[in-house]
């Protein structure tokens, strides 16, 4: 890394673990809402349309959070914005427990989503900038693997807490990361690369200049590729995974309602992450993204047409394995494509655009199902969408394996 002071080994591990825990809390909050909604639908007699609106408000918050946090992290530092986003989503989650009606809960979920959406791109940028070139990709994929731990945690809360103590208790647990932020304030530092870049910059870069830089001739091809990639991955993930339980029931299986199925699906994510973490430094970013996305697309078709319990479970495991491996590659690849002064802005904007897909997909699937569209056709749509993302990386993407981050 040239003359740049490298973080020492234990310090790097501490940063990865500390940022990973904040990532885990993020996933726990996102996962919990899918379980809370089931309890709320009965208690508040919510229509399926209201359930759709409630789950979408978190995603809408994430659209704004990702863009804003990206800008602010380039201006005020990765560490500061990571702490603020963690505080925002945990406090909003705690306040959600006090919601007395549907509108109030939607508002709190929007604020929580704002924090959640902002935390992810900033954490991945901080870890990416703090690692040496030969470990950078693997480290960010391992950071992403904490997402699975968060989902497992949310499933455990749903299993042990919600039936006995109600959905409000789950939201109170979601407020606990606020205390973790106090520890994080002392445990992590801004990346040496960011600090060095900040010291070198004589003039302040305005928001307009940062956005213009992301779309300048130098970065335009990268930005188009990244926006397409983020949109197709987020669209397909939220469209498929939020509807998996319903799809299983439509196919006539009760298995999916159970805690067991959710756990099996979530556990399948971990080897997906770990294999991606291994291959990303061995064969490169483009190889991992294209391979895992193509195999995700094939798993989607398999799931759509599966009609036995065994084939549905196998297809679901395959979908989970390859889709989350691709997510790991996506987070590792994105920060490597921009120079330090606009890195968080570039990643934040791409993530923000992707999150729009996370808002549209669950609502679109709901409309299609209501109009009698077959499950097979819906999964063919996801198959095509994912292949568009893979083609974008293959044609427009540049390989960044082993390269130093640009300053």
CB distance 22 to 143 below 8 Å: no
Sorting pLDDT into bands at 50, 70 and 90, what band is 7? very low
Q: How much is the pLDDT for 224?
A: 93
End-to-end Cα, the chain, rounded Å: 11
Q: Which of 29-46 are b and which e, b meaning 16 or more Cβ less than 10 Å from the residue's Cβ?
A: bbbbbbbbbebbeeeeeb
pLDDT tens column, 60-89: 999 999 889 988 988 888 889 999 999 999
Would you tell me how many other CB atoms lie within 10 Å of the CB of residue 5? 10
Sign of torsion, CA 36 41 44 49? positive
Mean pLDDT of 116-135: 87
How high is the mean pLDDT of the chain? 85
CA distance 265 to 31: 13
Could you tell me the pTM of the whole model? 0.85
Domain 9-396 has CATH 1.20.1250.20: yes
Query: Cα 168 vs. chain centroid, distance in angstroms?
Result: 24
Would you tell me how many other CB atoms lie within 10 Å of the CB of residue 51? 16
Provide the residue ranges of all domains of the chain, joining segments of one domain with +.
9-396
CB distance 264 to 384 below 8 Å: no
Q: How many CA atoms lie within 13 A of 31 on its CB side?
A: 26
Name the DSSP letter for residue 106: H
Sorting pLDDT into bands at 50, 70 and 90, what band is 201? low
SS (H, E, C) 140-198: HHHHHHHHHHHHHHHHHHHHHCHHHHCHHHHHHHCCCHHHHHHHHHHHCCCCHHHHHHH
Q: How many CA atoms lie within 13 A of 226 on its CB side?
A: 29
Name the DSSP letter for residue 81: H
Name the DSSP letter for residue 216: S
pLDDT for 2 beyond 60: no
CA distance 93 to 110: 10
Q: How much is the pLDDT for 405?
A: 67
pLDDT tens column, 254-301: 655 656 677 787 788 889 999 998 898 889 889 999 999 999 999 999
Sign of torsion, CA 371 372 373 379? positive
pLDDT tens column, 336-383: 888 878 888 888 899 999 999 988 888 888 788 878 888 899 999 999
């Amino acid at each position: 890394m040239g003359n740049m002071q490298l973080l020492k080994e234990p310090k790097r591990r501490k940063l990865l673990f500390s940022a990973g825990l904040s990532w885990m809390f993020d996933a726990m909050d996102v996962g919990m809402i899918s379980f809370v909604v089931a309890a709320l639908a009965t208690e508040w007699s919510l229509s399926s349309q209201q359930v759709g609106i409630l789950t979408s408000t978190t995603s809408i918050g994430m659209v704004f959070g990702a863009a804003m946090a990206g800008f602010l992290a380039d201006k005020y530092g990765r560490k500061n914005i990571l702490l603020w986003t963690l505080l925002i989503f945990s406090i909003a989650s705690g306040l959600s427990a006090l919601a007395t009606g549907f509108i109030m809960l939607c508002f709190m979920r929007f604020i929580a989503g704002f924090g959640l959406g902002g935390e992810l791109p900033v954490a991945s940028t901080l870890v990416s900038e703090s690692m040496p070139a030969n470990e950078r990709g693997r480290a960010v994929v391992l950071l992403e693997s904490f997402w699975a731990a968060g989902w497992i945690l949310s499933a455990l809360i749903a299993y042990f807490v919600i039936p006995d103590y109600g959905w409000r208790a789950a939201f109170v647990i979601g407020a606990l990361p606020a205390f973790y932020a106090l520890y994080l304030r002392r445990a992590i530092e801004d990346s040496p690369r960011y600090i060095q870049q900040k010291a070198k910059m004589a003039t302040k870069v305005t928001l307009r200049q940062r956005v213009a830089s992301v779309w300048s001739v130098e970065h335009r091809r990268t930005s188009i590729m990244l926006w397409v990639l983020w949109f197709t991955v987020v669209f397909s993930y939220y469209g498929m995974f939020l509807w998996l339980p319903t799809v299983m029931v439509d196919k006539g299986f009760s298995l999916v309602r159970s805690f067991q199925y959710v756990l099996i699906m979530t556990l399948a994510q971990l080897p997906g992450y770990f294999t991606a973490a291994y291959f990303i430094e061995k064969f490169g970013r483009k190889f991992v993204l294209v391979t895992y996305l193509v195999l995700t697309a094939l798993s989607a078709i398999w799931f759509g047409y599966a009609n036995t319990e065994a084939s549905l479970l196998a297809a679901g495991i395959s979908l989970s394995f390859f889709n989350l491996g691709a997510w790991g590659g996506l987070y590792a690849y994105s920060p490597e494509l921009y120079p330090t002064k606009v890195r968080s802005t570039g990643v934040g904007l791409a993530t923000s655009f992707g999150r729009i897909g996370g808002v549209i997909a669950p609502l679109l699937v709901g409309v299609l199902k209501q109009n009698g569209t077959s499950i097979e056709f819906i999964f063919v749509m996801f198959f095509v969408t994912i292949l568009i993302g893979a083609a974008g990386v293959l044609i427009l993407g540049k390989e960044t394996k082993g390269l130093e981050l640009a300053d």
